[in-house]
C-alpha cells in the first residue's frame, strides 16, 4: 500500500477547498466521496454536479475553482479513462505543484495514465487504502477507519446503481432513437446482463415513442449470437424480424456458432417456414461448408450455387 504524505490544509477558506474531478457517469460515486470527506472534517469540496447551476458559464467557473482549490482528487474509473481530455483538470493542479490525489475504481494500476502515476494513487475498493487517504487529508479526524469502510461500501453500491441506471438509459435509447444506434450500445447492454431485454425488444415496438426497425432488430440479433447468447433466447427476436434475408443471416450465424448440434438444428427448423427458397438454399450451402447436417426438414433443398 502506498504511503500518503500528510497534507495539512491551509486555514483560509479558499485554501481548504478540494476540487473533485470525475466523469459525468460517476457523479453518484463523486457525491459519496464528497459526503465522506465532509464527515471527515475536510473543508469545501467543489463538485461540478452540485456547484454549477443551470445556465452558468461552466468553463470560467471551473477555471476559477481550479485556481481557488488547494488540491484535486480525481475519481479514476473506466468511464473517466475513455475521456483523456478530462485529465486536463488534474494537469492544472500538477503543473501548479498542488497536491494531486488519484482514487482508482475499476482501473488497474498499470492502466493509470503515465503522467498521473506521479500523483498519490489510492484504491477506492480498498479499506486500508482509503483509511490512509483520509488520514492524509483529514489529519485531525480519529474516525477515518469507519469512514473509509463506509466509503468503500457506498462507492461499490453507487457503481452498481449507476451501471443499472446507465443500462436503462441505453436500452431506452435503443428503443426510441430515430438515429442509428452504435453497436457499442448493444454490446454494453449485453455486457450489463440485459440479454433478456434485448431478446424481447420487438415486444416494445408498439410503444408511443418506439422506433424499432427491422434493421435494428437484425443488428441486435446478430450481436446476441456473436456474444454466444443461447439461440433459444434469440429465437423470438429472429422470428419477429419479418425479413427473409435477415432471418437467413440469423440462421447462418447460429449454425456456425458453438452450440450443440440439436440446438442449431432446432433454430434452423423454427425459421424454415419464414424463409424464401433462395434463403433456404444459402443456409444449406453454409451448412455444407462447415460439414453440419441439417434436419430432415431440409432434405431436397439444393445448396445455393448448384
On whether the CB atoms of residues 118 and 149 are closer than 8 A, the answer is no
**Do 78 and 108 have their domain in common?**
yes
**Do 120 and 184 have their domain in common?**
no
C-alpha–C-alpha distance, residues 202 and 175, integer Å = 9
pLDDT for res 217: 98
**Do 140 and 21 have their domain in common?**
yes
User: Is 7 among the domain residues?
Assistant: no
**Confidence band, pLDDT 50/70/90 cuts, at residue 229:** very high
Helix axis angle for 244-255 and 277-289, nearest 10°, is 20
On whether the CB atoms of residues 239 and 214 are closer than 8 A, the answer is no
**Do 210 and 252 have their domain in common?**
yes
**Do 203 and 232 have their domain in common?**
yes
Q: Give me the mean pLDDT over the 123-145 stretch.
A: 89
Cβ-based neighbours of 208, under 8 Å, separated by 6 or more:
none
Comparing CA positions, the residue from 50, 60, 112 lying closest to residue 84 is 112
**Do 131 and 61 have their domain in common?**
yes
Domain that holds residue 143: 14-160
**Do 189 and 149 have their domain in common?**
no
On whether the CB atoms of residues 202 and 246 are closer than 8 A, the answer is no
**Confidence band, pLDDT 50/70/90 cuts, at residue 64:** confident
pTM of the complete model: 0.74
Total number of domains in the chain: 2
User: Is 71 among the domain residues?
Assistant: yes
**Confidence band, pLDDT 50/70/90 cuts, at residue 61:** low
Q: What is the Cα Rg of the chain in Å? A: 27
Question: Within 13 Å of residue 32, how many CA atoms lie on the same side as its CB?
Answer: 21
- Least confident range of 53-67, 121-135, 160-174, 272-286: 53-67
pLDDT for res 92: 81
- Tell which of 134, 160, 186 closes a domain: 160
On whether the CB atoms of residues 247 and 238 are closer than 8 A, the answer is yes
**Do 115 and 215 have their domain in common?**
no
User: Is 257 among the domain residues?
Assistant: yes
Work out whether the CA dihedral 28, 30, 31, 33 comes out positive or negative: positive
Amino acid at each position: 500500500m502506498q504511503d500518503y504524505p500528510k497534507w495539512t490544509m491551509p486555514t483560509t477558506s479558499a485554501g481548504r477547498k478540494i476540487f473533485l474531478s470525475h466523469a459525468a457517469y460517476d457523479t453518484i460515486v463523486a457525491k459519496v466521496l464528497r459526503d465522506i470527506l465532509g464527515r471527515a472534517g475536510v473543508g469545501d469540496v467543489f463538485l461540478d454536479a452540485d456547484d454549477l447551476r443551470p445556465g452558468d458559464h461552466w468553463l470560467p467557473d471551473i477555471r476559477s475553482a481550479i485556481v481557488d482549490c488547494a488540491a484535486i482528487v480525481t475519481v479514476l474509473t473506466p468511464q473517466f479513462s475513455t475521456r483523456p481530455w478530462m485529465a486536463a483538470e488534474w494537469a492544472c493542479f500538477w503543473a501548479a505543484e498542488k497536491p494531486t490525489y488519484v482514487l482508482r475504481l475499476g482501473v488497474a494500476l498499470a492502466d493509470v495514465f503515465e503522467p498521473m502515476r506521479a500523483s498519490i494513487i489510492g484504491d477506492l475498493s480498498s479499506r486500508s487504502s482509503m483509511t490512509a487517504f483520509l488520514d492524509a487529508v483529514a489529519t485531525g479526524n480519529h474516525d477515518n477507519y469507519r469512514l473509509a469502510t463506509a466509503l468503500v461500501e457506498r462507492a461499490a453500491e453507487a457503481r452498481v446503481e449507476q451501471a443499472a441506471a446507465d443500462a436503462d438509459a441505453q436500452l431506452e435509447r435503443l428503443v426510441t432513437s430515430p438515429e442509428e444506434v452504435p453497436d457499442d450500445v448493444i454490446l454494453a447492454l449485453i455486457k450489463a446482463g440485459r440479454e433478456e431485454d434485448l431478446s424481447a425488444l420487438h415486444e416494445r415496438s408498439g410503444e408511443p415513442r418506439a422506433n424499432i426497425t427491422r434493421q435494428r432488430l437484425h443488428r441486435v440479433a446478430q450481436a446476441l449470437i456473436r456474444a454466444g447468447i443461447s439461440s433459444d433466447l434469440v429465437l423470438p427476436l429472429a422470428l419477429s424480424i419479418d425479413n427473409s434475408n435477415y432471418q437467413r443471416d440469423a440462421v447462418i450465424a447460429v449454425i456456425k456458432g458453438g452450440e450443440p448440434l440439436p440446438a442449431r438444428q432446432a433454430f434452423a427448423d423454427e425459421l424454415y417456414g419464414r424463409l424464401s427458397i433462395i434463403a433456404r438454399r444459402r443456409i444449406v450451402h453454409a451448412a455444407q461448408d462447415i460439414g453440419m447436417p441439417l434436419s430432415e426438414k431440409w432434405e431436397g433443398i439444393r445448396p445455393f450455387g448448384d
